[in-house]
Structures are given as structure tokens and as C-alpha cells.
Amino acid sequence: MHLSKKSEYALRATINLGIAAEVGRGTVSGAELAEANRLPLKFVERILQELREAGVVETHRGKFGGYSLAKPADEIGIGQIIRLIDGRLA
């Protein structure tokens, strides 16, 4: 199976947010996610918007705002993220 780069980056962002939740960090900014994955911020923001619209990620406004997982990491499947970004799995 071949993953698109967009799916790979969506998985990375989801994993980064899951790790942040595990260590009690709460939110992570889009800029931090972009820097951690060496990607343009606009590209990361588009991916995060898709994840938000699907109910995987939540956004938080304000000085300490950013992104967090909308549900526990163990309730989010890898296949769910791939299907969301790339469509149906073969």
C-alpha cells in the first residue's frame, strides 16, 4: 500500500498531538507542528482543518491556543486518518 505524503503528514500531526496529550501538554500550535515535521505552515494548517472538520482534532483560540485531539488517541485509527485524507483504502 502506498501512502500519499499528505496522509503521512496527517498521521505525523495526529501522533504529535497524541504525544502532547499524553504528557499533559494540552494544545500544540500549527507552527510547532509545521516546524517539527519541517513542512510549510499553510500545508499543515490545511491538513489540520480537514482533521478538525472530521472531528479528529479540536482548535483552541487565544494566547495559549492551538490544536489538540478531539478524543483519546486510542480511539483514533490509522486507517481512519488515511481514509479521511486519501479516500477509501484498497
> Cell 494540552 belongs to which residue?
26
pLDDT for the residue numbered 90: 57
pLDDT for the residue numbered 89: 65
Q: How many residues does the chain have?
A: 90
Identify the three-state secondary structure at position 74. Answer: helix
pTM: 0.88
5-86 has which CATH code? 1.10.10.10
pLDDT for the residue numbered 42: 95
**Element containing residue 57 per DSSP (H, E):** strand 57-60
Mean of the per-residue pLDDT values of the chain: 92
* Residue in 35, 27, 88, 34 with CA at minimum distance from that of residue 61: 27
pLDDT for the residue numbered 1: 62
Q: Which three cell numbers stand for residue 21?
A: 496529550
| Domain extents in the chain | 5-86
Question: What's the mean pLDDT in 46-73?
Answer: 94
